[in-house]
């Protein structure tokens, strides 16, 4: 009986990988609600595949040396850059054997994003600084303990835009993992009039992917040190994003001729 109980516990732990940490809500799209996530996933993938990645700055270190060795990190990116970043993480990181878990707001607005991520067969943790923060932190630590990279949007889910909340720093301190700033620059895009000025790429748009240097938060960091690292993360992400949006700083290091991100190389 004890062996059977242990087997059930192991199966439960394995199954929880792709389960959200909160009850799934109904999507506000009427009878089309159940089909919206799959349609949205197809839209994100189809549109993103037409885009051309012309620069991957510092990716060799992050994706190959860290994730290539299956070492998880705390990946931090701004909320308005999540459209193409989701596709990029789905295509690139899984190839290096590093699954990722994305923190998504527990609000109704986050439900569509959460289901979209699950359609991409990635993991979702529901929560934010204002709702379910402690539960989300524990869930993310559980994921990182099992080798998952934790992807967070420091200014989400309600902003202010480009203002980093302390959650990523606390997670890095308790998990012992480095925070890796990440951003993407879209040359041709539609910018929505939302709080974060959400960016949707136009078809065939050039894209830049930039990673910053890892930020290590000491285990014994006090409140003052945590504030220092929060401000550093914010400043690093702002500087990285400003550079990504300035196409005069482009370093022309495109993928090999005839290859695109969607080809898996």
Bridge-based pairing state of the strands 206-211 and 179-186: antiparallel
The tally of domains found in the chain comes to 1
pTM for this entry: 0.80
Distance CA 252, CA 207 (A): 12
Asked if residue 159 belongs to a domain, the reply is yes
pLDDT value, residue 174: 94
- pLDDT of 166 strictly over 80: yes
More confident residue, 204 or 138: 204
Range of the domain at 93: 55-247
pLDDT band at 105 (very low <50, low <70, confident <90, very high): confident
Asked if residue 261 belongs to a domain, the reply is no
More confident residue, 60 or 179: 179
Angle at 76 between CA 75 and CA 78, to 5 degrees: 145
Distance CA 98, CA 120 (A): 14
Per residue in 108-137, pLDDT tens? 667 778 888 877 777 888 876 556 578 888
Residues in the chain, total: 265
Distance CA 24, CA 6 (A): 28
Per residue in 184-209, pLDDT tens? 999 999 999 999 999 999 999 999 99
Asked if residue 48 belongs to a domain, the reply is no
- pLDDT of 183 strictly over 80: yes
Asked if residue 108 belongs to a domain, the reply is yes
Asked if residue 18 belongs to a domain, the reply is no
Which residues, including other chains, have CB under 8 Å from residue 184's CB and lie 6 or more apart?
77, 81, 84, 85, 88, 207, 208, 209, 210, 244
CB 149 within 8 A of CB 99: yes
pLDDT value, residue 135: 83
Asked if residue 255 belongs to a domain, the reply is no
Asked if residue 126 belongs to a domain, the reply is yes
Mean pLDDT within 70-91: 88
């Amino acid at each position: 009986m004890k062996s059977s109980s242990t087997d059930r516990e192991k199966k439960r732990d394995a199954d929880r990988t792709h389960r959200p940490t909160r009850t799934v809500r109904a999507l506000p799209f009427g009878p089309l609600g159940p089909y919206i996530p799959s349609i949205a996933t197809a839209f994100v993938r189809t549109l993103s595949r037409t885009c051309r990645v012309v620069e991957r700055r510092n990716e060799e270190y992050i994706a190959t040396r860290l994730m290539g060795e299956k070492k998880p990190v705390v990946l931090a990116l701004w909320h308005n850059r999540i459209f193409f970043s989701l596709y990029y993480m789905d295509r690139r990181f899984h190839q290096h054997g590093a699954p990722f878990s994305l923190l998504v707001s527990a609000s109704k607005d986050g439900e569509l994003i959460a289901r979209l991520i699950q359609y991409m067969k990635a993991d979702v943790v529901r929560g934010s600084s204002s709702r379910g923060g402690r539960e989300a932190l524990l869930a993310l630590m559980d994921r990182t303990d099992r080798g998952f990279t934790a992807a967070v949007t420091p200014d989400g889910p309600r902003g202010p835009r480009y203002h980093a909340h302390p959650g990523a720093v606390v997670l890095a301190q308790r998990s012992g993992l480095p925070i890796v700033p990440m951003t993407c620059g879209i040359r041709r895009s539609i910018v929505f009039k939302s709080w974060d000025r959400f960016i949707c790429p136009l078809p065939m748009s050039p894209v830049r992917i930039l990673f910053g240097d890892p930020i290590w938060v000491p285990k014994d960091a006090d409140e003052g040190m945590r504030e220092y690292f929060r401000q550093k993360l914010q400043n690093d992400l702002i500087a990285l994003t400003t550079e990504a949006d300035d196409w005069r700083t482009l370093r022309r290091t495109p993928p090999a001729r005839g290859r695109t991100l969607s080809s898996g190389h």
